[in-house]
Structure 1
């Protein structure tokens, strides 16, 4: 058994096997409905086991909503779908207080829970609603509670917000505020399927097939697996590597590369480091390891950082995306501990 860095839990081989078995069972159930999208599914699972929220972006028709609703069915949890529209109000999702007449004529105030009071929330087309309603999710996502009429109401545990959105350049959308984007652990880009995948989609969706998806995990089991993820030890040099990547995105700080200064308007905050490390822990366990490697951090840089960085107008005009900048940072950041500590530029980054 391996002792965690915090010293509170042990990670047994049986626990690792349980997490891997849960992943395989979920994938088996999802494959009954979803064709391909393996990377998207893996990032969704990492987010869930890390106790994070996930934002999926892609053009209409790529089965984003179907993927999330099917995933919710594989978990024995309460599920709520919120269709975000331009006329949706904050109370429509958080709930509201009503006054009811009791027997005898007395009036009593009662809170009517909104659709946020479920374990899994599908926030469908979240960028179709104005920022005022989008902001109603902030407290729920961060604090796992909502405040209505000066009264705080706790939400269910586990609690996940799995949101979908169309690309910003589509008509009739409202860009998510930066503070809200930062609450999402991952931003996952859903791309078009390959030819063979689309061929299989066409076959399945045009035939009379009624697929039954079974639940494979309970809420208690998910909470146990989330605790297990946080018990995974992480070496200091891996955390330092995550810090090196994130701190290089902060324009105006010491040691930031010239290409970042030219191409990035602003960079990622401390949550990015936290989510890189947590996601690395979940990815390590899902791959049967009890320690986090630099490769785990590298694989998660895109989904963790792409919505926490904004490219400049000049860079965007040249066709440079945040993923391009992230990939270059990963290529040019030393992975060895001694190289990071010897490099004068990184000494400035860690000292600033």
Structure 2
């Protein structure tokens, strides 16, 4: 008996608002009702996105049924674009349909000059292979620190980045990047293609991202977004007088956010080593951030891009699953150097 993927033509095309219900059904079927991003599971929200937002959203369709989906989500606040949100019905997997779909998504994202930096997360070797087979190489420079919850577990996904090859930005190299020479991350950074220059780094402490909430106190101000399915918060902008104030602000976010926070991510601009050292040193309660990724060109400002270090804090006690990536994750994490606060005084 032939499988559906062998007997039914599969058409790859751009998603339209009329596909909203079919897209939601696909993610519900593929992920057993546990896909955490409502932008892919709520038909009304999907319809709004496809009407009002400029996502690169492509589908694989067979017999008018949505059997695959791939999305590139731009962030105009910093000129980046996340590629992913993959879903393909099992009976259509492994026959090239999703590879074609993924290629179309990447090509559409690359064609847009505003997408200066492209990135994605790999949950598994299959996902990593999809990124590595495209024309524009992805460079794996860290992990998300176990941000994503799947059921009762957390998963630690690889994060990979590349600059738009058709519209390459200028990346300003930091004077002393916290990366061990000869390490896996160092090797990935040296292999990156793009325009680089040297120069001063901006005064901003953290990379700018799209945010939903603002917290202010005597210690400063911090803007952040919440990803409630994973009980996670991501800092998008932060202003504080001292590294100790940065730490206090972030604890306030954990304690006062409108939803429970069990995972916190902050992208510290790479030359702000005093902030990195402060956050990675345990406090009196033993809480400390972990340096999980080095992200080249993650922050945009003044017509150029600047490197960042991704720090994460887990508060729920769950050890993230690495789904076959354990050795690679360890190599990525040990690629990063974190100074002690005393060494910077």
User: Higher helix proportion, which one?
Assistant: 1
Higher relative contact order (CA 8 A, sep 6+): 1
Alignment TM-score, normalising by the size of structure 1: 0.31
**Structure label with greater radius of gyration:** 1
Alignment TM-score, normalising by the size of structure 2: 0.31
